[in-house]
Amino acid sequence: MTPLSRRAFTGMGAAAALAPATAGSAAAASAAPGADRAAMDPAPLDPAALRAAISDLSHPEATASQLLVERRGGRWYGSAGTADPVSGRPAGADDRFRAGSVTKAFVATVVLRLWAEGRVDLGAPIRRCLPGLALPSRFDRVEVAHLLQHTSGLPDHRGLPDLGTPEAVLRHRFDHWTPRALVATVTRDPLKFPPGHAQEYRGVNYVLLALLIEELTGRPYGEVIASRVLRPLGLTGTRIPGDDPRLRGPHVHGFLRMTDGGLRDATVYDQSAAWGEGELVSTADDLFRFQEALFSGVLLPERALRKMVTLPPPTVRMTDGTRARYSMGLQAATVNGTTFWGKTGETYGYRTRMFATRDLSTRFVLSYTPTALNAREDMIERVAGALTA
C-alpha cells in the first residue's frame, strides 16, 4: 500500500482542521481485560499490528488514542495514553470525545429520511426551502442535494476570526455564534463555481441543512437527531451539546501545544461555530453502533442509503482537480482495491476517523487527541496499513 492510498482516508479539507505534531513520548497501548479479540476467519485481525499503530503518541504528538475494529465478527479494542492526564486514567470505549465533522453523517441521515418520507425535494433550491433566512437571489441555483454533496459553490467566509495559532484558538474558544450569523459570512460574494459542477468541502453546507431540518420539523435539529437516531439506537454517550461548552460524564481531554512549548487543556470549548456541522459529542462504542445501523439499513431505506454511497459523476472534480470523494454525508476511501465509506471529524484537540466497507466486513472507529494544529496523519496511515496489509 502506498502513502497516497492511505491519504484517501484523510483528505477532508475540514474548516477547523488540527495539526502537525511536536515531539512527545510514546505510550504503550492498553486494552481492557477481554478487549483484545481477534477474528477467527481466513483474514484474522492482527492485534500486535493494531496496538502498534495507536501506541506511537509521538507521530503525531497526542495525549491519547483508541481504536475499535471489527472484521467479519471478530472485534478488537485498544487504547494508548490517558483520557485524563491528571488522574492517569486510560481511555475507554465509552468515554466521550468531540467527534467534529462526523456530525455531518448524522445530519445527512436525517435529511435523507425526510426525503424518503416525501417531506423535502433534494432538487429544491435551499433559498425556497428557507424563506425566512433572506438568502441572496444567486442562492436560487443551490439545491439541497448540492449542500449534501459539497457541490454548492458557496463563497468563502468573511468575518471569521483568524485561528492560525493555538493561542488564538484558546482566545476565541468562548466566542458564540448563531447559525444565521454563520450563514451571513458566506452571502457577500458570488458563488465560487456553478452548483453541481465542482466539489469543495464546506461546513457551512451543513449549517444550512441543519436549518432545513428545523424548518421541516419545527424542532431543534439536535432534538430531531436524538429522536430519530440516538434514542432508537440507544446511543446514550452521544449528544449535540448546544450551548454547553463542557464534556459531561467520563470523557477524553483534548490539549493544544502552545508556540512556547506549553500544553494547554482545550476540552472546554463553545462549539457554536461548528453548529450543525461539527459539534457532535460521541464515543467509540456509539459510533460503531451508528455505523452498523446505517449500513445495515436500520436508519435509512435502501434508496436513501444508495444516495449516501454514491459519488458525483466523474466530471465533477474537487477544486484542486482530484476526483470528487464526498457523497451525501459520507466520503469514500479506496485502499488496495477496497472501498471504505465513512466520515472524518476534527476539532481542536480531537480527531476521529469512522470507516467501513459497504458490507461491514471490515470497519473501524479511530479517535485520538493530537496536540498541534494541522497535525500529520501518521496514525491513520498506520491503522490503514495494519488493516489492509
The pLDDT, as a whole number, for residue 10 is 56
> What digits encode the pLDDT tens for the residues 58-90?
999 999 999 999 998 899 999 999 999 889 999
Cα angle, residue 366 at apex, residues 361 and 370 outer, rounded to 5°: 160
pTM over 0.85: yes
Q: What are 257's strand-pairing partners? A: 263
pLDDT given at position 304: 98
Q: Residue 249: its pLDDT value, please? A: 96
Q: What is the pLDDT of residue 219?
A: 98
Task: Give the whole-angstrom CA distance, residue 375 versus residue 227.
Answer: 35
Instruction: Please state, in angstroms and rounded to a whole number, the distance separating the CA atoms of residues 381 and 71.
Output: 18
Grid cell 454547553 is found at 244
Parts of the chain with a pLDDT under 50: 1-7, 12-42
Domains of the chain (ranges; CATH) run 3-388 (3.40.710.10)
> Which of 334, 268, 341 lies closest to 109 in space, CA to CA?
341
Answer whether the bond into residue 60 is a cis peptide, omega within 30°: yes
Question: What pLDDT is stored for residue 389 in this prediction?
Answer: 77
pLDDT computed for residue 43 by the predictor:
64
User: Cell numbers of 309, please?
Assistant: 454511497
